[in-house]
Chain A
Amino acid sequence: MSTPKVYNSAKEAVSDITSGSSLMSGGFGLCGIPENSIDAISDLQINGLTVISNNIGNSGRGLVALLKKDMISSAICSYVGGNPDLESRMLKDEIKVTLVPQGTFSERIRAAGLGIRAFYTPTGHGTSVALGKDEKMFDRPCILEKALHADFAIIKAEIADEYGNLYFKETARNFSPLMAMAAKTTIVEVEKLVKIGELSPDQIHLPGIFVQRIYQGSNYKNDIEFKMTKKESGDSNED
């Protein structure tokens, strides 16, 4: 039995994303990015997207495909080093970029998914991040940060069952389960889609209640940005 959450293709799963939507995208650099959904969105005739993602692509890949097609008008992220396509557009004011400290970024997304409206954090106090925000003294000065929601989240998991229960691999988990909780519609692509019951309840990193759409992904590149290795003898080298 297939559930109504299971879609046949990336194209079908992203077809109702419209101009002006807010879109969260999982992944740290290129690790764990939803490659198939990004490709499918880059084929849509839309623009004015607000994209919420730690790096907005990197090294010319990932979400950079949407940047190059001028589909993104506003970006919320924590780090643009390693993403010259974004940094140059930002310095030329072609795109509005809001830089958020990574822990605050994660927690704002988590808060949105879990019904917390705002929280006080010491991160960013005394810096430009604090400008225009409420400040309050606890054991130390803190600033008020608000929950960060989105219309859609596109994420990748290693394994999903047809209810949307997710299992992530290694550091590919990063922001993905948080974004799944924070978006109205969460679209998940997977390396492996299995029947309900094939994932043990103990293995599940994110319960399927947070997932609206799932599809079996294909042709993954799983790019490595900096491949560092050591030889058996212990010497290090880089390629």
Chain B
Amino acid sequence: MTLHALTKPWEPMSYGFLDASAKREIRRKMIKAIAVPGCQMPYASHEVPMARGWGTGGLQVSLTLVNPSMRVKVIDQGADDSVNAASIRRFIARVAGTPTTMDTLDADLIQSRHRIPEEVLREDQVLVLQVPNPEPLRPVQPNMSIARQMHADADYGRMWLQLYEQIVRSGRVMQGASYPSLVHGRHVMTPSPIPRWDVPKLHMAKHLTILSAGREKRIFAVPPFTRVEPLVFSDVPYKVEDHADLTCHRSGTRGFFMNEIPQDDGTSVFEVSDSAWGVKAIRRRDGEEVALGETWYKNGKMPS
């Protein structure tokens, strides 16, 4: 063998930044994550040219999956033009030569922080969610090794107790985003800090969701047609944010998750959080022909 055989032709950068061995490791872990839905699989999580906590986990998954014919959409808080979404989108396009889009319907791969788009995702689409903290048990058990044992034992008693205490103390479950949910009847998972509004979109969805925490080095998944059930008591039903009756002051669209914009006079106005949806609604209102996809929520209600 020669030194040459151990190396490869010099490239300024691998396609998609990650080298072949980093991609293979992520692929192997993605397979296990899909095979055991909702179970956190540890992975090496290589450093990428972005700060930890800024979507490096999602980015590694996206970079492993992309090819030049895959159209990529990146959103942060629902918006395509949020600075970090713009930064990630630009990076992926730069190192993988992928076309990009803001329209959910045109995207093959959607990397998102804190939101799931309002239009129903198809079975050929992949949603990659960025995850700051992959451990739903952390509020009750900050030690990762003990928490791991609790998952192994399906020991979710303290989780339930915490929810119960919130109801006793505040009259309701206070958990907003990152609502802990039972996946495939076995593993409790954080759906990432998506609002409660978005959690039902994961249940028996057609698309594949991969959740990746780069800093914490954990990857987990919700395959299509998989049960995702928020932890609730049978007599205290799961409630999403009461945005059903809010109207976007810019696009006029109604019945979707909204951003609240405080006004000088002490009131608030609302604008739809899914910016691409808002843009399409405006364009249609202005007479353009725009394809609007089917939405998960209809008239502000999620059909059960």
Decide if A and B are genuine partners: no
Q: Which chain A residues have a beta carbon within 8 Å of chain B's beta carbons?
A: none
